[in-house]
A and B are shown apart, each in its own frame.
Chain A
């Protein structure tokens, strides 16, 4: 009799305890995810990563796992650890990247962030290649247009104006206004008027010491190059004229270095001048025509933020 009562009690206890455990488990998943989110919003990214990882470990079947992986990537990205961010985003694209994409999917956003990571790691080639992969995988018009837009801007950053124009031209007519393509095309057409110096011309001018620097608007460097080279040439002449061949040879050796150095410096000065002017143009272009795309999200779902300056 007592055995039967015990077994009944045990069955009842097991039944109720299971029900309670289910509730607790669900509550814990929410609490755990919310806890990680709290750290992320407080910009405590190291702790956020640990909590998101804990969430993934304890609740691997939860529908928010892709979001947690994405947030791990974002935590690393925000803390400027781009290599680890790349690993996290790549994990997401590898794991969930073979399904149909839409703009709200974390897989699609992860693809964009992979490109951002490559750009931060100074590898624009891989960034473009990754976006081409996304283009091959997705038929969603909005995703494809954003890919074209991002690739276009990567080419702008590398001063490849024609390639950038090609990709902006591939954006569908429905999204042309969204990306302000008319303004962008107008600004991009001004790229031909960037004042540039010809490095070869700078090198040729530098045959006369200082003239190359003068061509690149470096007046102090020009004067220094002229005085130093003229002085050393005169010194070498004097030394040889007075039969001091060893001294003459030494001065000639030094002078050859400074003479070649002034030519080399003039050529690099032209390149630096061009880089500075081109960078200035790109910054102006960003200010006037770039729509900033940021892959942010809210708890209620994913979102894309558009921002541009008036």
Chain B
């Protein structure tokens, strides 16, 4: 049981935003409670965990955008999907772009709609 929780925690903590600014980069229209898990992650976990996400946008940014544009339910599903794909086969499929001198796999929300 404990091992499963560790697995989940490692999977979720594997991604972190590149930078954090003013309340996890949330704009005023993102104050709904559905954003709280991502806010908590960005404020408390990612700060300590550091910049580790190999995708662009980062998983937390992707999650916020997915929830904002697709609604809470589909946004949550897309977030889970992204967390499973982050840093794996997607690196060989999606194009690479340079962000602040580092190469990242470009996988925006719009590439995963349909």
Which of these, B76, B77, B78, B88, contacts A224 with CB under 8 Å? B88
Contact B114 A268, beta carbon cutoff 8 Å: yes
Contact B8 A254, beta carbon cutoff 8 Å: yes
| Cβ < 8 Å to A, chain B residues 1-32 | 1, 4-5, 7-8, 11
Residues of A within 8 A of B79 (CB): 257, 261
A-B interface contact total, Cβ < 8 Å: 73
Is A44 interfacial (CB 8 A cutoff)?
A: no
Range class of the A interface residue count: 20 to 34
Which of these, A219, A220, A224, A235, contacts B1 with CB under 8 Å? A235
Contact A261 B78, beta carbon cutoff 8 Å: yes
Contact B93 A264, beta carbon cutoff 8 Å: no
Contact A225 B89, beta carbon cutoff 8 Å: no
Of chain A, the residue at the smallest CB distance from B94 is: A272
Q: Would you give the shortest CB distance from A215 to chain B, in whole angstroms?
A: 13
Residues of B within 8 A of A221 (CB): 84-85, 88-90
Q: How far is the CA of A25 from the CA of B111 in the complex (A)?
A: 57
Q: Main SS of chain B's interface residues?
A: helix
Residues of A within 8 A of B11 (CB): 224, 228
Contact A261 B77, beta carbon cutoff 8 Å: yes
Q: Would you give the shortest CB distance from A249 to chain B, in whole angstroms?
A: 15
Residues of B within 8 A of A228 (CB): 7-8, 11, 84
Residues of A within 8 A of B89 (CB): 213, 218-221
Q: Using CB atoms and an 8 Å cutoff, list the residues of chain B in contact with chain A.
A: 1, 4-5, 7-8, 11, 76-85, 88-90, 93-94, 111-114
Sorted nearest first, the 4 A-B pairs with minimum C-beta distance are: A261-B80, A261-B81, A265-B81, A220-B88
Known: A221-B90, A268-B113. 17 other contacts (CB 8 A): A213-B89, A224-B84, A228-B8, A235-B4, A254-B8, A258-B83, A261-B83, A262-B84, A264-B77, A265-B85, A267-B114, A268-B81, A268-B112, A271-B114, A272-B93, A272-B111, A276-B93
